[in-house]
Amino acid sequence: MTAGSLRALLAVVVLQGRQALQPGELFLTTVTNVPLAAMAAWIATRSADPAKFTHVAFGVILLAVWNSGLFRVGAALEAERIEQTLDLSLTSRTPLLTILLGKACALTLPAACSGVASFLAVVVVGQRLPVVEHPLVFAASFALAWASVLITAFLFTPLLALTRGGAGVFGTVAAFGLVFNGFLYPASALPPAVAWVARLLPAPWAMDAALAAASPAGDPALIAPGWLAALTLCAAYLAATAWLFTLVERRLRVTGSLAAG
Residues that bind another protein (CB under 8 A): 2, 4-5, 7-8, 10-12, 15-16, 18-19, 22, 24, 28, 31-32, 34-36, 38-40, 42-47, 52, 56, 82-85, 87-94, 99, 164-169, 171-172, 175-176, 178-179, 184-186, 189-191, 252-256, 261
Q: Please, what is the minimum distance in Å from the beta carbon of residue 196 to another protein?
A: 15
Using the minimum distance from each CB to another protein, give the nearer residue, 99 or 111.
99
Which residue number, 221 or 260, has a Cβ lying nearer to another protein?
Answer: 260
Helix (H) or strand (E) holding 63: helix 50-74
Per the CB < 8 A criterion, the answer to whether 74 and 177 are in contact is no
Q: How far is the CB of 252 from another protein (least distance, A)?
A: 7
Name which of 67, 72, 75 is nearest 176 in CA terms: 67
5-10 long-range CB contacts below 8 Å, 24 or more apart? 5/94, 5/95, 5/98, 8/92, 8/93, 8/94, 8/98, 8/99, 8/102, 9/94, 9/98, 9/99, 9/101, 9/102, 10/102
CB atoms within 10 A of CB 55: 26
The residue (of 11 and 224) whose beta carbon lies closer to another protein is: 11
The dihedral of CA 114, 119, 122, 124: what is its sign?
negative
Is residue 131 a contact partner of residue 214, using CB atoms and an 8 Å limit? yes
User: Of the two residues 175 and 228, which places its CB atom closer to another protein in the complex?
Assistant: 175
Q: How far is the CB of 136 from another protein (least distance, A)?
A: 27
Distance CA 65, CA 119 (A): 11
Q: How far is the CB of 180 from another protein (least distance, A)?
A: 9
Q: Which of 229/252 has CB closer to another protein?
A: 252
Cβ atoms 99, 33 nearer than 8 A: no
* Cβ 151 to another protein shortest distance, Å: 22
**What's the min distance (Å) between Cβ of 141 and another protein?**
20
With respect to another protein, which residue has the nearer C-beta, 115 or 137?
Answer: 115
What single-letter DSSP state applies at residue 233? H
Least separation in angstroms between residue 130's CB and another protein is 14
* Nearer to another protein among residue 136 and residue 254 (C-beta): 254
E strand or H helix that includes residue 102: helix 96-126
Closest CA to 88 of 157, 6, 2, 8: 8
